[in-house]
Amino acid sequence: MSEEITTNSAEFDKAVDDIIEELEVSSEEDKKDEPELVGLAAFIKDCFERSDSSRQAIEDNWLDDLRQYKGAYSEEVLRKMHPHRSKAFVRMTRTKVKTVDSRLSDLLFPANGDRNWDITPTPIPEFSAKKMEALLSMWREESGQDVTSEEFQLLLQDEANKQARKMAKTIEDQLSESRYREIMRNVIHSGNLYGTGILKGPLVAIAENHQYYKSVNKNGKEKWLLEEKDSITPFIEYVRIWDVYPDMESDDISSCRYVIQRRKMDKHELVALAKRSDFSQSTIMDYLDENPNGDYKKKSFETTLSTLGDIVDSGISAESTSKKYEVLEFWGYVDAQDLMEAGVEVPEDKKSLLELSANVWMLGDHIIKASLSPVEGIKWPYFFYYYDKDETSIFGEGIPSIMRDVQELINSAFRAMLDNAAISAGPQVEVNMDLMSEDEDLRDFYPFKVWVRTGVGQDASAPAIRMLDFPSYTGEFERMIEMFRNYGDEVTSIPRYMWGEASGSAARTASGLSMLMGSANVTIKDQVKNFDDGITKPFITAMYYWNMQFSTDEDIKGDYSVIAQGTSSLMAKEVRSQSLISFAQMTAAPADASIVKRPQLIRAIAESLDLDEDNLVMSDKEIEVQQQQQQQQQEQERQWMSEMVEVARSEGISPTALLDSLRLLRREIEEPVNEQQPA
Residue 506's pLDDT is 46
Would you tell me how many other CB atoms lie within 10 Å of the CB of residue 104?
A: 25
Each residue's pLDDT tens digit, 632-642: 888 887 787 77
Each residue's pLDDT tens digit, 588-614: 777 766 677 777 777 777 766 656 556
Dihedrals phi, psi of 109, to nearest 5 degrees: -130, 75
Average pLDDT estimate for 78-84: 91
Cα–Cα dist 184/121, whole Å? 27
Run of H or E including 506:
none
Cα–Cα dist 367/280, whole Å? 8
Cα–Cα dist 436/465, whole Å? 9
- Indicate the pLDDT class of residue 459, thresholds 50, 70 and 90: confident
- Indicate the pLDDT class of residue 97, thresholds 50, 70 and 90: very high
Cis peptide before 202 (omega within 30 of 0): yes
For strands 258-265 and 325-335, give the pairing.
Answer: antiparallel
User: Residue 86: pLDDT above 90?
Assistant: yes
**CB-based contacts of 342, cutoff 8 Å, min separation 6:** 39, 40, 360, 367, 370
Each residue's pLDDT tens digit, 119-142: 888 877 777 777 777 777 777 777
Cα–Cα dist 108/567, whole Å? 9
Give the neighbor-by-neighbor strand order of the sheet with 196-216: 222-239, 196-216, 382-386
- Indicate the pLDDT class of residue 210, thresholds 50, 70 and 90: low
Between 64 and 316, the higher pLDDT residue: 64
User: Residue 272: pLDDT above 70?
Assistant: yes
Identity (one letter) of the amino acid at 497? Y
Longest dimension (CA), the chain: 160
- How remote is the C-alpha of 334 from its chain's centroid? 32
Each residue's pLDDT tens digit, 10-22: 665 666 566 656 6
User: Residue 332: pLDDT above 80?
Assistant: yes
The C-alpha R_g of the chain, in whole angstroms, comes to: 39
User: Residue 533: pLDDT above 80?
Assistant: yes
SS3 597: coil
CB-count exposure of residue 484 (10 Å: 0-12, 13-18, 19+): buried
Residue 129's pLDDT is 73
Each residue's pLDDT tens digit, 343-358: 888 888 787 778 899 9
Identity (one letter) of the amino acid at 473? Y
pLDDT-wise least confident of 32-46, 295-309, 605-619, 648-662: 605-619
Residue 670's pLDDT is 61
Cβ contact 169:543 at 8 Å: no
SS3 222: strand
Residue 120's pLDDT is 87
User: Residue 380: pLDDT above 80?
Assistant: yes
CA angle, 485 then 490 then 492, to 5°:
95
Would you tell me how many other CB atoms lie within 10 Å of the CB of residue 66?
A: 21
- How remote is the C-alpha of 236 from its chain's centroid? 14
SS3 449: coil
Between 74 and 231, the higher pLDDT residue: 74
Distances (CA, A) of 467 to 52, 428, 559: 61, 6, 87
Cβ contact 59:301 at 8 Å: yes
Cα–Cα dist 585/596, whole Å? 12
Task: Pick the closest to residue 87 from 531, 339, 317, 412 (CA basis).
Answer: 412
**CB-based contacts of 165, cutoff 8 Å, min separation 6:** 119
- Tell me the sheet residues that pair with 203: 235
Residue 566's pLDDT is 60
Run of H or E including 606:
helix 598-608
SS3 652: coil
Between 627 and 677, the higher pLDDT residue: 627
Identify how many contiguous H helices and E strands the chain contains and give both numbers: 23, 14
Each residue's pLDDT tens digit, 428-453: 888 888 888 888 888 788 888 888 88
What string of H, E and C letters represents the secondary structure of 12-32?
A: HHHHHHHHHHHHHHHHHHHHH
- How remote is the C-alpha of 57 from its chain's centroid? 24
Residue 63's pLDDT is 96
Locate the DSSP E strands across 340-448: 355-363, 366-372, 382-386, 388-389, 396-397, 428-431
Cβ contact 84:77 at 8 Å: no
Would you tell me how many other CB atoms lie within 10 Å of the CB of residue 355?
A: 14
Mean pLDDT of the chain: 82
